[in-house]
Amino acid sequence: MDRLKSKFYEKAMAAIAEMKPFMKEHDETIIDQVTIGQVFGGMRGIKSMLWETSLLDSNEGIRFRGYSIPELKVKLPSRGGEPLPEGLFWLMLTDEIPTQEEVDWLSNEWERRRVIPDQTWKVLDSLDPDTHPMTQFGIAVLSLQQKSEFARRYSEGMNKRDYWDATYEDSMNLIACLPHVAAYIYRRSFRNNEQIAPDDNLDWASSYAHMLGVTDDPDFMSLMRLYMTIHADHEGGNASAHAVHLASSTLSDVYYSFVSGVNALAGPLHGLANQEVIKWIFEMVDHLGTSKPTKEQIAQYINETIAQGKVIPGYGHAVLRKPDPRFLAQQAFASTHMPDDDIVNIVWKVFDVAPAILGSLGKVSNPWPNVDAHSGAILVHYGLKEYNYYTVLFAVSRALGVLASTCWSRILSLPLERPKSLTYEWIKHWVDARKEK
C-alpha cells in the first residue's frame, strides 16, 4: 500500500468506527423537511447527501476539510506564493495537512502513474479540432476507461471490501493523466497540434501550464496552482459533483463517473459560465468600441443584456449569498500580478456595478460574483484567449475534489443513490388529501 493509500485507509477506518454507532443511534433523526417549492425548484438546499471533502456556507463560502481558501494559502505547502493542488488532494482524502515532503511524493506519484494508452491519442486525433474542447475532454476520459482497475477487478469477482482500494487506484491514475490529455486537446485545437511533452521536474499544475505552452512567464504556473486548488471542490450538491456521486453510486468506475460530472460542468449555468463571461466581455468591448469602458457604459450594457432575456454570466449562485471567496482569491492574484490589465479592470468595474443592478431586479437571490466571473480575464492576460477551452481547466481541477470524495463514498460503502420523484398529479392528490384531514 502506498503512503497516501494507507493514511486514507487508517483515517477512514477511524471515521467508520465513529460513524457506525452514530448512524445506529440517529437513523430516524429528522435533519430536514422538504417543501413543494423545493420539489419544483431544483431541490435547492435539501440536506440529503454525505460529502466529506468540503462544506459550503452561503455567506462564508467554501471550506475544504474546515479550511477556508485564505487559510489554505497559508497552511498548504506552496510554490510561487500559491498552494500546491497536490496538498489539497491529500487534505481532502486524509483530513490532514501534508508536509512538503508528502506533497513532493504525490507529485512524483502522479508522474509515475501518467500512463496514457495510444487509443486516447488516436481517438482525439480522429476528432475535428473544432469539436468543443469539453466534448474532446469527455471522449478522451472515456477512452481511458480501459485502464480501470475497478472494472477489471469487479469482472474478476472483487470482494466488496476492496471497492475502495480499486477506486483509489483508478482515481490516482486518472488524475495523473488529466493534465497531459487536457493540454493535448488545447494544442491540437488552438496551436497547430504542436505538442509539448510533460516536464517531470514540475509539480502537477505547473506541468499542465508548461504543456499548454501559452507563455514562459512563471507567474502563469502560480496561477495554475491557484486555479487548480480553488476550483477543486464545492461540496456535493453542485451539478458536476452530484452527477459524479450519482453515477459512482451504481459502481460505475471513476472514469465513467467523472465523465458524468464533466458533462454537467459543460452547462452554461455551471462550469461553462467561465467561457460565457469572457465572451460577454469581449462582445461588450466590441459593442462599445473601447477596452476601457466607464462604469456607466458597463451598467447600460448589463441592463441591455438583462432586457434581452439573458443572464449576466459569472453572477449569482444557488447557495452563496456573498461574493465568492474563489472570485476574491483571483481578484487578489490579479491585483498583485496585473493591476493595470484592461480586461481585468473591466471585471472589477462589473463587480462595482452589477450587484446593485441585479439586486434591483428583486428576484435574483445572489447578486454577487461567483468563481467564473474572474478566471477568464487572468487567462487572457497570459495569452490563453481561446475561451472555449476554459471549462476544461475547471474540469481538470474538479477531478481532485470529486475523486477524493468518490474514494470516501466507496470506503464508507455508500449505497446506490435513489431519491423519490413525484408526478404533479401525485402532489395535487397529496395536497387535497391533507386539506380534507
* Residues of the shown chain interacting with ligand CMX in the complex, contacts defined by CB under 6 A: 238, 269-271, 273, 306, 311-318, 358, 363-366, 370-372
Find the shortest distance in angstroms from Cβ 366 to ligand CMX: 6
Find the shortest distance in angstroms from Cβ 271 to ligand CMX: 5
Match 464508507 to its residue by C-alpha cell: 412
Please identify, using beta-carbon distances, which residue of 98 and 401 lies nearer to ligand CMX.
401
For 352-404, give the DSSP string: HHHHHHHHHTS--S--SB-THHHHHHHHHHTT---GGGHHHHHHHHHHHHHHH
Q: Can you read off the three cell numbers belonging to residue 60?
A: 462564508
Catalytically annotated residue among 317, 337, 374, 381: 317
Please identify, using beta-carbon distances, which residue of 98 and 325 lies nearer to ligand CMX.
325
Catalytically annotated residue among 270, 337, 374, 381: 270
How many angstroms separate the CA atoms of 251 and 410, rounded? Answer: 9
Find the shortest distance in angstroms from Cβ 328 to ligand CMX: 14
Please identify, using beta-carbon distances, which residue of 86 and 276 lies nearer to ligand CMX.
276
Please identify, using beta-carbon distances, which residue of 269 and 422 lies nearer to ligand CMX.
269
Please identify, using beta-carbon distances, which residue of 88 and 350 lies nearer to ligand CMX.
350
Q: Of all helices (H) and strands (E), which one includes residue 330?
A: helix 325-337
Whether residue 372 lies in the annotated active site: yes
Please identify, using beta-carbon distances, which residue of 254 and 358 lies nearer to ligand CMX.
358
Distances (CA, A) of 410 to 1, 66, 253: 17, 22, 11
Find the shortest distance in angstroms from Cβ 58 to ligand CMX: 11
How many angstroms separate the CA atoms of 86 and 110, rounded? Answer: 9
How many angstroms separate the CA atoms of 409 and 242, rounded? Answer: 12
For 112-179, give the DSSP string: HT----HHHHHHHHTS-TTS-HHHHHHHHHHHGGGG-HHHHHHHTT--GGGHHHHHHHHHHHHHHHHH
How many angstroms separate the CA atoms of 137 and 158, rounded? Answer: 30
Whether residue 270 lies in the annotated active site: yes
Please identify, using beta-carbon distances, which residue of 144 and 228 lies nearer to ligand CMX.
228
Question: CA-CA-CA-CA torsion for 142, 262, 135, 370, nearest 10 degrees?
Answer: -160
Whether residue 242 lies in the annotated active site: no
How many angstroms separate the CA atoms of 218 and 167, rounded? Answer: 34
**Closest residue to bound ligand CMX by CB:** 316
Find the shortest distance in angstroms from Cβ 146 to ligand CMX: 31
Find the shortest distance in angstroms from Cβ 370 to ligand CMX: 4
Find the shortest distance in angstroms from Cβ 249 to ligand CMX: 22
Catalytically annotated residue among 165, 219, 233, 372: 372
Check if the beta carbon of residue 134 is closer than 8 Å to that of residue 265: yes
Strands 78-79 and 67-68: unpaired
Find the shortest distance in angstroms from Cβ 286 to ligand CMX: 21
Please identify, using beta-carbon distances, which residue of 181 and 318 lies nearer to ligand CMX.
318
How many angstroms separate the CA atoms of 426 and 337, rounded? Answer: 57
Burial class (CB in 10 A: 0-12, 13-18, 19+), 5: middle
Distance of CA 245 to the CA centre of its chain: 13
**Nearby residues of 310 by Cβ (< 8 Å), 6 or more positions away:** none
Q: Active-site positions? A: 270, 317, 372
